[in-house]
């Protein structure tokens, strides 16, 4: 039996996938409300294919509880934020989960950490917790790191098809854990050591953050000297060895806007490119705000209350708004002591910010300048509704001839 600890964006789909492929699974989360929702037969977030997978896993007997189980394998999938001051990974949730596991685990059990951590985190934090218990790692308990790679918006497909990395002290333990993942994963699964697996995961997200920062910096240069950044990137990407990502209003989510900081925190004197890249991405919401003021001025628009932000999530067609560029922009605007801008997002049904709308038409009635922060499909399908409005499109989804861009 596998006990999956943490039933969030990664833990839940992983638990469901294992269960629907014949593995006995119990999912554990300390959040009683979340466990009650799952036990009532409902998923806790939207994702293509998740509900079908959930039903399959229920039919296969998956259980959800707040209790840690006595079993041979634990998969820990809890959040790993970064400390805003030191930039280092904050392993507090991983540590707490491992402490709880140690209270119930039988000798010989394997603890798999799925959460993203910086290189050396398992050595620094997880090993001492186990050793304090008087247990010998490699004999009484086995440690494995199996970072996930799935992208929100396409998680179920990617869980099935992506290649994976497994890090273990002992190759045979790595192979044993690999067999569980191979029950559903059709990609290649590489077994390596723990520190390599830790570094690999952080490097993948850092690569993307640096590439996005490069695109964002190009957008700033092109705005400064009146060039079309999208046309330039399109042509550059026709070169066989160039692949520039897309500029945008900033970087959100809980991965690319967070994980690269772990490297900056741990290797401050060695991470100039990475640190500067993160700063460029973090500067984008303020850059969008500047664009808003410029466009208002150009159009003799004086009332900031007639400006509306379309999109609150960190990217298109997901309901996750953690670290979203829109929230960053509103925070930045708050510093200017201005009336908060109007906001609408079809994926966010709860009120999470001031001046939030839950109906697209009502939102449009109250604004003259629409700032596209996220290119949800809903908008792409109803773009004609923006006809007659001023539009600042930070995602290049609107083809109007008079549209403003980054």
> Looking at the annotation, which residues are catalytic?
201, 255
Q: Which of 14, 20, 165, 205 binds ligand SAJ (CB under 6 A)?
A: 205
Q: Quick check: 196 binds ligand SAJ (CB under 6 A)?
A: no
Answer for the pair 230, 396: CB distance below 8 angstroms, yes or no: yes
Q: Is 373 a residue that touches ligand SAJ (CB under 6 A)?
A: no
Strand partners, 343: 309, 356
Strands (E) in 149-271, as ranges, are 164-168, 189-192
Is position 256 an interface residue for ligand SAJ (rule: CB under 6 A)? yes
Kindly state whether residue 12 participates in binding ligand SAJ, applying the rule CB under 6 A.
Answer: no
Interatomic CA distance for residues 74 and 105, integer angstroms: 9
Which is nearer to ligand SAJ, 31 or 237 (by Cβ)? Answer: 237
Closest distance to ligand SAJ from the beta carbon of 138 (Å): 28
- Check: CB of residue 371 under 8 Å from CB of residue 290: no
CA dist., res. 321 & res. 315, Å (int): 8
Residue 254: closest CA among 46, 48, 8: 8
Site for ligand SAJ in 105-124 (CB under 6 A): 116
One DSSP character per residue, 112-143 reads: EE-S---TTHIIIIIHHHHHHTTPPBTTTEEE
CA–CA separation, 85 and 261 (whole Å): 11
Does residue 2 interact with ligand SAJ by CB under 6 A? no
- Examine residue 208 and tell whether it contacts ligand SAJ (CB under 6 A): yes
Kindly state whether residue 252 participates in binding ligand SAJ, applying the rule CB under 6 A: yes
Interface with ligand SAJ: number of residues (CB under 6 A): 20
Contact status: 246 vs ligand SAJ (CB under 6 A): yes
Residue 150 binds ligand SAJ, judged by CB under 6 A: yes
Region near ligand SAJ per CB under 6 A, out of 14-22, 190-198, 217-225, 246-254: 246-254
* Shortest separation between residue 259's beta carbon and ligand SAJ, angstroms: 6
Instruction: Tell me the per-residue interface mask from 300 to 319 with ligand SAJ, x by CB under 6 A, - otherwise.
Output: --------------xx----
282 binds ligand SAJ (CB under 6 A): no
Q: What is the 3-state secondary structure (H, E, C) of 334-379?
A: HHCCCCCCEEECCCCCCCCCCCEECCHHHHHHCCCEEEECCCCHHH
Which position among 141, 156, 218, 251 is part of the footprint of ligand SAJ (CB under 6 A)? 251
Check binding of 148 to ligand SAJ (CB under 6 A): yes
Closer residue to ligand SAJ (CB): 24 or 158: 158
CB 288 within 8 A of CB 332: no
Q: How far apart are CA 318 and CA 254, in angstroms?
A: 13
Q: What is the rounded CA–CA span in Å between residue 217 and residue 25?
A: 46
User: Which 8-state DSSP code applies to residue 384?
Assistant: G
Binding site for ligand SAJ (CB under 6 A): 116, 148-152, 204-205, 208, 212, 245-246, 248, 251-253, 255-256, 314-315
């Amino acid at each position: 039996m596998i006990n999956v600890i943490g039933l969030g964006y990664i833990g839940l789909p992983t638990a469901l996938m294992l269960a629907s492929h014949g593995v006995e699974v119990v999912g554990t989360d300390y959040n009683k409300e979340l466990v009650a929702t799952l036990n009532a037969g409902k998923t806790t977030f939207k994702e293509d294919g998740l509900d079908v997978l959930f039903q399959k896993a229920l039919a296969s007997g998956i259980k959800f509880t707040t209790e840690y189980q006595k079993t041979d394998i634990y998969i820990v999938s809890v959040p790993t934020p970064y400390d805003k001051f030191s930039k280092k990974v904050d392993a507090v949730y991983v540590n707490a989960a491992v402490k709880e596991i140690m209270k119930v685990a039988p000798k010989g059990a394997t603890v798999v950490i799925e959460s993203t951590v910086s290189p050396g985190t398992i050595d620094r934090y997880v090993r001492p917790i186990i050793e304090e218990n008087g247990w010998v790692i490699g004999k009484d308990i086995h440690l494995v790191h199996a970072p996930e790679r799935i992208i929100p918006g396409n998680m179920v497909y990617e869980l099935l098809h992506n290649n994976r990395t497994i890090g273990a002290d002992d190759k045979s333990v790595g192979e044993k854990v690999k067999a569980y993942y191979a029950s559903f994963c059709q990609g290649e699964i590489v077994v390596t050591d723990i520190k390599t697996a830790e570094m690999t995961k952080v490097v993948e997200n850092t690569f993307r953050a640096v590439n996005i920062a490069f695109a964002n910096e190009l957008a700033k240069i092109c705005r400064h000297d009146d060039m079309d950044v999208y046309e330039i990137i399109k042509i550059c990407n026709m070169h066989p060895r160039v692949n520039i990502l897309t500029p945008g209003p900033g970087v959100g989510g809980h991965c690319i806007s967070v994980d690269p900081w772990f490297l900056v925190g741990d290797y401050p004197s060695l991470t100039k490119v990475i640190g500067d890249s993160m700063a460029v991405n973090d500067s984008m919401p303020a850059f969008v705000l500047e664009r808003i003021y410029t466009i208002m001025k150009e159009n003799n628009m004086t009332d900031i209350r007639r400006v509306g932000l379309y999109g609150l999530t960190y990217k298109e067609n997901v309901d996750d708004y953690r670290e979203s560029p829109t929230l960053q922009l509103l925070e930045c605007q708050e510093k200017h002591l201005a009336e908060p801008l109007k906001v609408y997002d079809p994926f966010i049904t709860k009120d999470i910010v001031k001046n939030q709308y839950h109906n697209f038409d009502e939102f449009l009635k109250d604004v003259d300048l629409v700032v596209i922060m996220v290119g949800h499909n809903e908008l792409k399908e109803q773009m004609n509704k923006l006809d007659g409005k001023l539009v600042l499109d930070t995602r290049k989804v609107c083809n109007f001839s008079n549209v403003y861009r980054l």
